Amino acid sequence: GFSWKGQICMNPRRIFRHYLRGWFLLDMMATIPWFVVDLGLNDGVGREMVRAFSLVILIRFARLARVVRFVQDLIEVEVIGFVLSIGKFVSILLLIAHCVACAWWK
Q: Is the pLDDT of residue 34 over 70?
A: no
Q: Is 69 helix (H, G, I), strand (E, B) or coil?
A: helix
Q: Would you say 59 and 26 are in contact if contact means Cβ atoms under 8 Å apart?
A: yes
Residue 30, Cβ neighbours under 10 Å: how many?
19
Cα–Cα dist 21/15, whole Å:
10
pLDDT digits (tens, 9 = 90+) for 39-70: 555 566 566 666 666 676 667 777 777 777 87
Cα–Cα dist 65/72, whole Å:
10
pLDDT digits (tens, 9 = 90+) for 65-102: 777 787 777 777 777 778 778 888 998 899 999 888 88
State the first-to-last Cα distance of the chain, in angstroms, to the nearest integer.
60
pLDDT value at residue 26: 74
The identity of residue 18, as a single letter, is H
Q: Would you say 21 and 37 are in contact if contact means Cβ atoms under 8 Å apart?
A: no
How confident is the prediction for the chain on average, in pLDDT? 77
